[in-house]
Amino acid sequence: MKKSLGARTVLYPTPALVICTYDGEGRPNAMTAAWAGICCSSPPCVAVSLRKATYTHGCIGARQAFTVNVPSEKYVREVDYFGMTSGRKTDKFAATGLSPERSDAVDAPYIREFPFALECRLVHVLELGLHTQFVGEIVDLKADEEVLAADGSLDVEKVRPILYAPDGGSYFGVGKNLGKAFSIGRRGS
């Protein structure tokens, strides 16, 4: 018999991502977001939910674009910092030493040091309550060659992404390979 824990926003795994934008003056900004996920295969779209109070919320509205940056675990301190400080008052790139690279696909920067980024143009805005959901069409994906597998796919074990555990509030790395999808669950005929 399961225990009722009440209405709680817990899902495992939840990603730890960094959303990058330019503000109205063209200054690059970065903030950490966990309420996010791919939401459509065709057109390829990703959804990111942000509180209205965040600086990034206004930047996405102004520029109609953002990037979703997937960090490696070695940048876990920077990721945590990006989630605690507002770009309104602080140049977070200067503070961390990370580099905003101008996207050639959308009006937003991505982080040079992170292994890959989704470059998105805003296609839907859904007001949900405390959070606004921004749906971006993925226009391009930029990645470091070093994190690609031999077949050109993004190798999770090279990317080493960060999981965020909303309950308990900790970050985790990726563990062992459990098997091939659309394969290990196949039943005998």
Per rule CB under 8 A, is residue 187 in the interface with a second copy?
yes
Binding to a second copy (CB under 8 A) within 15-54 occurs at 15, 17, 34-47, 49, 51
Least distance to a second copy from the beta carbon of 53, Å?
A: 12
Query: Which residues have a Cβ under 8 Å from the Cβ of 57 and sit 6 or more positions away?
Result: 50, 51, 132
Q: Report the half-sphere exposure of 119 (CA within 13 A, side-chain side).
A: 16
Least distance to a second copy from the beta carbon of 152, Å?
A: 8
Of positions 25, 94, 97, 179, contacts a second copy by CB under 8 A: 179
- Residue corresponding to tokens 């992404």: 161
Least distance to a second copy from the beta carbon of 24, Å?
A: 26
Binding to a second copy (CB under 8 A) within 86-125 occurs at 95, 101, 105, 110, 112, 116-118, 124
Least distance to a second copy from the beta carbon of 31, Å?
A: 12
SS3 81: helix
Give the integer Cα–Cα distance in Å for 91 and 89: 7
CB atoms closer than 10 angstroms to residue 161: 20
Burial (CB < 10 A; 0-12, 13-18, 19+), residue 76, is middle
Binding to a second copy (CB under 8 A) within 119-178 occurs at 124, 126, 128-131, 133, 135, 137-145, 148-149, 151-156, 159, 161-178
Q: Are 118 and 104 in contact (CB under 8 A)?
A: no
Per rule CB under 8 A, is residue 12 in the interface with a second copy?
yes
Of positions 6, 89, 94, 188, contacts a second copy by CB under 8 A: 6
Instruction: Report how far apart the first and last C-alpha atoms of the chain are (Å, whole number).
Output: 34
* # chain residues binding a second copy, by CB under 8 A: 104
Per rule CB under 8 A, is residue 189 in the interface with a second copy?
no
